[in-house]
Amino acid sequence: MINMKNIKEYNLEDLKEELISLGEKKYRAEQIFKWLYVDKVKEFDEMTNLSLELREKLKKEYTMCNFKILKKQESADGTKKYLFDVLDGNAIETVLMQYHHGKTICVSSQIGCKMGCKFCASTGIQFVRSLTSGEIVEQILAVEQDIGDKISNIVFMGIGEPFDNYDNVMQAIKIINNQKGLNIGARHISISTSGLVPMIYKFADEELQCTLSISLHATTDEKRSSMMPINNRYNIKELMESCKYYISKTNKRISFEYALAKDNNDNLDDAKQLVKLLKGMLCHVNLIPINKIENGKYTKSSNENIIRFRDYLNENGIVATIRRELGSDIDAACGQLRRKNLNKK
């Protein structure tokens, strides 16, 4: 099992090559792809239009990496949070959110995270490893199987820094995006980064139709570095230059995430600085009422401050909205469920 390859790590083109290397016709790859992502079978033996011989070969060479649900929490608003067993003794989180425009999944890209953002529940959990493309894709399949319905949007905002696992995330997008498989359009896929500047340039050059979100959260290097250590590596000026390059290359709007923490980054001076920083950029600001985490130093801004902050941005030419709080009655902040599970061990 250890040396077996996960069949869900292959995009359709790679799978064709695999089938050819097994001495099979490449159209078999499309049949397998359909069984995996349209029919969502869990065993090779369910792929009944493949010969018995091919099914045996596949069983010998590949695993299907079917996650098991270790824990599931359900909020009154329909948000579901899953803790999945990734089959090597580790666990990851995936969140399902229900919006009027469809069902969105927030996927994890790594087991733990190296970035150490001070407001994040993943901080303090040791980084273990990056997820493979197949493990990223499996999160979507496992949730679709659990709810018996189709997911319409994917956001890479769970545990991990997606650009620290760049190649596997790009491969997962190719699989998710394929019309013969899960068929989730690139416009319905959003990637959030804490600001790995070289990867923002690389991503811009891919010219994908996915949405790019940047976790900004502060407008001065001093404050941003105190919240996000990554800012010591790539400061705000460098970050903004990479964002401008992305916009010029793709002509796509960037979404800046700004988590409002009481008496930290939520006063009108911060709003004024933010307007200055983003003026003239093709962008949108997503204001996030910060989720209080266990032992975390930040607390949520008052509703009054959040609304005043948003209104100031909107009145000064920066489109800003407040993210609807979902799952506030469960451990909805990224890392919380896994952290609790680890604490129990």
**Out of 63, 75, 194, 255, the residue judged to bind ligand SF4 by CB under 6 A:** 194
Q: Is 93 marked active-site?
A: yes
134, 160, 181, 327: which one binds ligand SF4 (CB under 6 A): 160
Decide if 46 contacts 64 (C-beta within 8 A).
no
Of 132, 135, 151, the C-alpha closest to 143 is 151
Residue 99 β-bridge partners: 102
When binding is defined by CB under 6 A, the residue of 83, 91, 159, 182 that contacts ligand SF4 is: 159
Contact with ligand SF4 (CB under 6 A) among 161, 257, 266, 270: 161
Residue 231 binding ligand SF4, by CB under 6 A = no
120 binds ligand SF4 (CB under 6 A): yes
Q: Choose the catalytic residue: 93, 135, 138, 257.
A: 93
- Greatest C-alpha distance within the chain: 69
CB of 236 to ligand SF4, least distance (A): 16
Residue 313 CB neighbour total at 10 angstroms = 22
* 333: contact with ligand SF4 by CB under 6 A: no
**Interface with ligand SF4, residue 214, by CB under 6 A:** no
What is the rounded CA–CA span in Å between residue 100 and residue 181? Answer: 24
Nearest to 285, CA basis, from 320, 251, 242:
320
**257 flagged as catalytic:** no
Nearer to ligand SF4, 109 or 301 (CB): 109
Judged by beta carbon, residue 116 or residue 296, the one nearer ligand SF4 is: 116
CB of 228 to ligand SF4, least distance (A): 7
Question: Which of 83/113 has CB closer to ligand SF4?
Answer: 113
- Of 55, 54, 53, 66, which is closest to residue 1 (Cα–Cα)? 66
Question: How many Å apart are CA 230 and CA 233, to the nearest integer?
Answer: 5
Choose among 192, 67, 179: nearest CA to 134.
67
Which residue is listed with tokens 């990223």?
136
Pick between residue 19 and residue 117 the one whose CB is nearest to ligand SF4: 117
Cβ of residue 117: shortest distance to ligand SF4, in angstroms? 3
